[in-house]
Structure 1
């Protein structure tokens, strides 16, 4: 979710005020130590780079490049003409914003180039004004910009990497089930064909009915295979299914929590991929309660079924806390969402009204057209 426009405008307005104060402070200090109109040069340089920092959202690369060029020209001017050291506090602060923004958002090579250019400007200021503390402040600002830019960038990259790894593992796990899905349905087709051959030999008039049964079984096999055909892997089967839900409940209660299973469905009628998916949704939800809801004392697992889908709801009674603390829809549920979407289902997770947490999954029991 992006940052609201109003919040961006307010943040830039506040940043503009900070820059204005920095420019005024720099001008005041230069006027007090140098006298005359020497303050004007630094004020113009600082204000120019500050304006670029405020409008950086329009083009982060070119605003950063323009700011670095302006700072480099200011340093060059101090070498040619006897002027106060640059980059000054206002320019350094604005450059830190430009460099940090570029490092955080631009492609890796471009971000590295901008960061290196910022270091070159800092080095130029130190060489042009040896012994002055002003370029040292610019160096500290550059280090802060690098940290502020790299921190969120590396964190986002790590989150993407972990999420992708979880998705890949979940897809591989789902692919293992393809063996069971195909074996289950094809076995049914084979048995129907064998029965049809016997029926045809003894009762030829029943051949049409036997062929209809074979057609139905074949259609079911095709529908089930389509749901996971994109995840083909040559791996071993996984037999976890609805019949092990009782084990999950017992294991959860072994940790000193209460759990109740409300089963208003016919699991024996579920296809294998639906059965195993229901099992994994319940398992992941109970695992998340144990890991992230220490104050939850009881959990209710509700499973219902209609003509189109199986619905799983897992609810706990953890006390209400601040919304920002609700982070239980972690990487495990990312994998669950991938699985359900592959089967044409949905998954939602979030706080319940009042207290507790709810995970709700729908798993289609037939192919959706």
Structure 2
């Protein structure tokens, strides 16, 4: 704040020097061309407008309105009194500062009103100079000063609007990313806890002595959910995404969480460490996670799931298929956030996503992500 205060003071000091020089030049020129005391009225009116320009930060709208009113009255009085009727250089400079400042920071309709008022004053000066008199270069310079004020005000205003729009875009993208992360984490871990709780209830009725183990599994799943939620919350505090690329080993761990409890999940990976680009590996992990979560939630009659990851020269493909009976679909609500988030992730990388029923039984999720071999480590 102190730095800005000194900058503002320096700007106003420079303007004060410029205003004083313009007033002195105006007095000198009028005294030489018109003679006598013709310069006094124009210089006094110009000094008032310049003073308002120096006080503009206390109220830009009212300072601009007062400056334009003084200029309009000065034109009329000067014309009636037979004095130079166009705004002099000092008044034109003060008006340009007032108009430019107002256009830069005031709300749209107020800024437009001030700009239009400045145009009216300039037009009045032009009429007074060219219709009732013999014309004047000063009147043309007044118009140029008004146009310069508009440019000086609109330029920073448009830049500020663009920065705000970009910032809002970034915030919106961050909110969408956070929403996708929260959905992925919460849906996945809560589904795991629910499945283990259901299995624990069955075991407690049939084999009571195994209930303790089921409770331990639920506790472990809850701890995993808490840790994952904390990682997502950490995204709000750290601009860098510290989530490492999902490797084939991590995909295997993900599959093991769903394997069992009536569901057999098999994973097929390319030979060796894939070394996919981080964004590709992470998206593959999320596609598999979302697909398995939806199968567990919406296709309870499915018994076998196959997850196949393959790559060719320019792409990586992941397919998740199940054997749910017809009518048991893992995606009953096509507009759900899970499918939307999955599609957004895939399409953001230039890939394609195909989701639909298979011939006979089950559903298939097929994601294709561009990943040239040169990009893989």
TM-score tier, shorter chain, comes to 0.5 to 0.7
Cα distance between partner residues in 1 of 2:275 and 2:53: 60
Counterpart residue number, 2:45: 45
Q: CA deviation at 1:12?
A: 0.6
Cα distance between partner residues in 2 of 1:99 and 1:200: 80
Choose the corresponding residue for 1:173, options 169, 173, 177.
177
Cα distance between partner residues in 1 of 2:28 and 2:22: 10
Counterpart residue number, 1:196: 200
- Tell me how many residue pairs correspond in the alignment: 245
Higher relative contact order (CA 8 A, sep 6+): 1
- The answer to whether structure 1 residue 186 and structure 2 residue 190 are counterparts is yes
Whether the 8 Å contact between 2:47 and 2:91 is mirrored in structure 1 is: yes
Counterpart residue number, 1:350: none
Q: 1:106 to 1:3 in 2, by over 3 A?
A: farther
Q: CA deviation at 1:56?
A: 0.6
Q: 1:176 to 1:28 in 2, by over 3 A?
A: same
Q: Secondary structure at the match of 1:4?
A: helix
Cα distance between partner residues in 2 of 1:226 and 1:68: 59
Cα distance between partner residues in 2 of 1:61 and 1:223: 54
Q: 1:250 to 1:193 in 2, by over 3 A?
A: closer
Q: 1:146 to 1:83 in 2, by over 3 A?
A: same
Counterpart residue number, 2:82: 82
Counterpart residue number, 1:141: 145
Whether the 8 Å contact between 2:197 and 2:218 is mirrored in structure 1 is: yes
Choose the corresponding residue for 1:156, options 117, 139, 160.
160
Q: CA deviation at 1:125?
A: 0.6
Choose the corresponding residue for 1:242, options 225, 245, 256.
245
- Uncovered stretches (5+) of structure 2, i.e. residues with no partner: 234-242, 248-273, 287-377
Q: CA deviation at 1:7?
A: 1.5
Cα distance between partner residues in 1 of 2:279 and 2:218: 41
- Uncovered stretches (5+) of structure 1, i.e. residues with no partner: 230-239, 252-266, 273-369
TM-score by structure 2 length? 0.58
Counterpart residue number, 2:270: none
After the TM superposition, which residues 225-236 of structure 1 pair with which residues of structure 2 at under 5 Å, given as runs?
Answer: none
Cα distance between partner residues in 2 of 1:154 and 1:61: 19
Whether the 8 Å contact between 2:246 and 2:278 is mirrored in structure 1 is: no
Q: 1:216 to 1:249 in 2, by over 3 A?
A: closer
Q: 1:183 to 1:155 in 2, by over 3 A?
A: same
Whether the 8 Å contact between 2:22 and 2:89 is mirrored in structure 1 is: yes
Counterpart residue number, 1:104: 104
After the TM superposition, which residues 1-369 of structure 1 pair with which residues of structure 2 at under 5 Å, given as runs?
Answer: 4-130=4-130, 131-197=135-201, 199-201=203-205, 203-208=207-212, 210-211=214-215, 213-214=217-218, 217-218=221-222, 221=225, 242-243=245-246, 246-248=275-277
Cα distance between partner residues in 2 of 1:186 and 1:72: 72
Cα distance between partner residues in 1 of 2:279 and 2:184: 26
Q: 1:44 to 1:250 in 2, by over 3 A?
A: closer
Which of the two has higher C-alpha Rg? 2
Q: Secondary structure at the match of 1:243?
A: coil
Which region of structure 1 is more displaced relative to structure 2, 198-207 or 19-28?
198-207
Q: 1:33 to 1:246 in 2, by over 3 A?
A: farther
Cα distance between partner residues in 1 of 2:145 and 2:30: 20
Q: Secondary structure at the match of 1:13?
A: helix
Q: CA deviation at 1:221?
A: 4.2
Q: 1:5 to 1:243 in 2, by over 3 A?
A: same
Q: 1:60 to 1:27 in 2, by over 3 A?
A: same
Q: CA deviation at 1:199?
A: 3.9
Cα distance between partner residues in 2 of 1:79 and 1:26: 18
Cα distance between partner residues in 1 of 2:142 and 2:29: 17
Cα distance between partner residues in 2 of 1:246 and 1:91: 70
